[in-house]
Amino acid sequence: MILAADEIARSLCGAWDLLHRRATGLSHFRFDEEAFWRSFRAPLLALPVVIIWLAAERAQLGLLAPGASLFDDPWLTARTIFELAALWLTLPMIAILIGHRRAIAARLVPFIIVCNWGSVLAAAILAVPALLYSIGWATPELAILFGCAAALMIIQMRWYMARVALGVTGGVAALMALVDALVGIGLLRLMI
């Protein structure tokens, strides 16, 4: 069950289309059992983003110094990996919780596939402000502004993914995306 380059390209293209509110993005995904299980490997593609996020965290804490290892603080490394996991897991978990109460249970598998691949794109989007900050091209304030813009893009993408993949109303999708954002922020605050 290795991720093939073709599947990675198709799925990320589909996630990109969903980011831009093109429902045709769903046609890029395979929605069978094998694709479901393989999609759980998609967030592994975002692991390099952890290095960028970790560098930004260390820069913010004043720990980014020449010759210093990025991984010498196990707590900071674990927290950064947890941030990636929170980004990946919150929206599918919300869908699973409400899926038993609504007529969306049959659409959960395609939605989780879309979420898994969308999380790779979301991590890459969030990596841009972190990278700009960690290499000194953005001030902390500017990085926060860029981060907020990135977060809004991701919330919008997750709203649209819920709307088209689950077939829920715009209001339900908005509530899911909002709860996803709040849970993600809450989890991050617990880690700080």
* pLDDT band of 11, cuts 50, 70, 90: very high
DSSP 82-110: HHHHHHHHHHHHHHHHHHTTSTTGGGHHH
Residue 153 CB neighbours (<10 A): 15
Tens of pLDDT, residue by residue over 87-108, are 788 888 888 887 666 667 778 8
For 15, the token pair is 């996630």
Residue 151 CB neighbours (<10 A): 17
80 CB-near residues (< 8 Å, 6+ apart): 50, 53, 54, 57
Which region among 10-14, 51-55, 64-68, 100-104 has the lowest average model confidence (pLDDT)?
A: 100-104
* pLDDT band of 187, cuts 50, 70, 90: low
Of 57 and 12, which is predicted with more confidence?
Answer: 12
* pLDDT band of 67, cuts 50, 70, 90: confident
Q: How far is residue 108's CA from residue 1's CA, in Å, rounded to a whole number? A: 21
Angle at 116 between CA 102 and CA 101, to 5 degrees: 10
Residue 191 has pLDDT above 70, yes or no: no
Residue 57 has pLDDT above 60, yes or no: yes
> CB of 39 within 8 A of CB of 117?
yes
pTM (2 d.p.): 0.87
* pLDDT band of 127, cuts 50, 70, 90: very high
> CB of 144 within 8 A of CB of 174?
no
How many Cα atoms are found within 13 Å in the side-chain-facing hemisphere of 84? 23
Of 9 and 181, which is predicted with more confidence?
Answer: 9
